[in-house]
Amino acid sequence: MARVAVLHNTLDFHGGADAVCLAACEALQTIHDVTLITVSGTNPAVLADRFGVSIPDIAVRMPRGAPAISGTLSAGAPWIGPQLAFRSVLLHRFFRSFAGEFDLAVSTANEFSLSLPSVQYVHYPQFNLHRLSDAAPGRLNRLWSRLAGPTRAEATAPGVTLLSNSSWTASVVEEIYGGRPTVCVPPVDPVPCDRPWSDREEGIVVVGRLAPDKRVLDAITVIDRLRERGYDLHLHIVGATPRAYRNYAARVTAAARERSYVVVERNVTRSRRERLLCTHKYGLNMKPKEHFGMTVAEYGTAGMIAFAPASGGQQEVLDGRSDRLFDSLREAVTLIARAVDADESPAFSTERFSRKTFQRSLRSHVERLLEAQ
């Protein structure tokens, strides 16, 4: 049994990265002594219930005042802007003072410069973004990179195993660091559905944070245009509402109130979300360059027809299908209209992205690195 530190900058955004973190803790705690290292205001048990994972005995270690720090950052998010890299710097500085207590680290918060062997799961690189040909790294990313980011040599060292959520993300990591991660798709459990296609509602479901990068307001524009074309569809927006995105969530809620065919449900239970997915025909994601697209995969496992922008890792989830991937709002409307007209039930492997597959892969990488020490 090894002493394993799972590093995760924050659980406060309630997204796919947090699901990966908790699934990693669940996978490793049965065979190792696991401690979750984070700087969060969110209790891991709250998200464990939402994501359907079991981590009853997980040890959590946070710096003094972590909830206050996280609360302050979340409160200032509308004015501060992107802050994940900064939160990672805080986590890095906290962890390095006691890193020697552990045999291995598992980062589920992207890449770090660490002093011990590590498995690092990259959703999207957070440091050294100036090396990308088409990136807008922000004026402070070079500073954060110097404080906590790895050099090319560190990122590709024998004691570091890099994993990524998609081949698309792996290519971005390779451009920055010169080494290509192994793809380890995130945990997406099949949604158990027994509702036949013919009995499902003619509606669209959008699942995800009510945040600007998810472009939820664009989904409302899509449903507006479909109804203008004569399609009697409705829209369910189902999302977490972290404090950092409260202003945007208020705009989404206000827009929904003006439309009888749009419903917003915040912070729903897992069972309620699964019921919506199982009783509707269509799932929609609006975020361009989504690093993987866990909700897109979830739509598929629930027996829905999923649509997403033709960029990022979600292209892999949808097998590059031109009838499911769009480049503009106009094209999104056209593709959904064609699917409604055809009314053909979808085919999607429900085991393709399972949590068991993710956890089995992660454990194998951890064990391989431990054996090499």
Q: How confident is the model at residue 57 (pLDDT cuts 50, 70, 90)?
A: confident
Least trusted range by pLDDT, from 44-53, 217-226, 345-354, 359-368: 345-354
pLDDT score of 372 more than 70: yes
Do both 246 and 331 map to the same domain? yes
221, part of any domain: yes
- Of 67 and 229, more confident: 229
111, part of any domain: yes
Tens of pLDDT, residues 121-144: 999 999 999 999 877 777 899 999
Residue 264: the pLDDT is 97
Do both 33 and 60 map to the same domain? yes
Residue 360: the pLDDT is 95
Residue 187: the pLDDT is 92
| 245: nearest Cα among 214, 270, 219 | 214
Number of domains in the chain: 2
Do both 327 and 288 map to the same domain? yes
Residue 78: the pLDDT is 55
The Cα 159–Cα 369 span in angstroms is 7
CATH number of the domain bearing residue 10: 3.40.50
The Cα 301–Cα 80 span in angstroms is 37
pLDDT score of 157 more than 90: yes
304, part of any domain: yes
pLDDT score of 171 more than 80: yes
pLDDT score of 81 more than 70: no
| 271: nearest Cα among 41, 1, 51, 28 | 51
Do both 338 and 358 map to the same domain? no
pLDDT score of 42 more than 90: no
Do both 183 and 264 map to the same domain? no
Tens of pLDDT, residues 14-23: 888 999 999 9
Do both 74 and 168 map to the same domain? yes
Do both 9 and 150 map to the same domain? yes
Residue 75: the pLDDT is 67
Residue 176: the pLDDT is 97
Do both 140 and 178 map to the same domain? yes
CATH number of the domain bearing residue 227: 3.40.50.2000
Residue 252 in tokens: 């989404």
Residue 350: the pLDDT is 64
Do both 216 and 142 map to the same domain? no
- Of 189 and 6, more confident: 6
321, part of any domain: yes
Instruction: Return the biggest CA–CA distance within the chain.
Output: 64
Three-state secondary structure of the chain: CCEEEEEECCCCCCCHHHHHHHHHHHHHHCCCEEEEEECCCCCHHHHHHHHCCCCCCCEEECCCCHHHHHHHHHHHHHHHCCCHHHHHHHHHHHHCCCHHHCCEEEECCCCCCCCCCEEEEECCCCCCHHHCCCCCCCCCHHHHHHHHCCCHHHHCCCCEEEEECCHHHHHHHHHHHCCCCEECCCCCCCCCCCCCHHHCEEEEEEECCCCHHHCHHHHHHHHHHHHHCCCCCEEEEEECCCHHHHHHHHHHHHHHHCCCCEEEEECCCHHHHHHHHHHEEEEECCCCCCCCCHHHHHHHHCCCEEEEECCCCHHHHCCCCCCCEECCHHHHHHHHHHHHHHCCCCCCCCCCCCHHHHHHHHHHHHHHHHHCC
pLDDT score of 119 more than 80: yes
Q: How confident is the model at residue 50 (pLDDT cuts 50, 70, 90)?
A: confident
Tens of pLDDT, residues 178-203: 999 999 999 988 888 989 999 999 99
Do both 222 and 153 map to the same domain? no
128, part of any domain: yes
Q: How confident is the model at residue 243 (pLDDT cuts 50, 70, 90)?
A: confident
Do both 226 and 289 map to the same domain? yes
CB of 139 closer than 8 Å to CB of 152? no
pLDDT score of 94 more than 70: yes
Tens of pLDDT, residues 297-329: 999 999 999 999 999 999 999 999 999 999 999
347, part of any domain: no
Do both 125 and 201 map to the same domain? no
Residue 73 in tokens: 């950052």
Q: Which domain holds residue 331?
A: 197-342
192, part of any domain: no
pLDDT score of 256 more than 90: yes
Residue 76: the pLDDT is 58
Mean pLDDT of the chain: 92
Residue 342 in tokens: 């055809």
40, part of any domain: yes
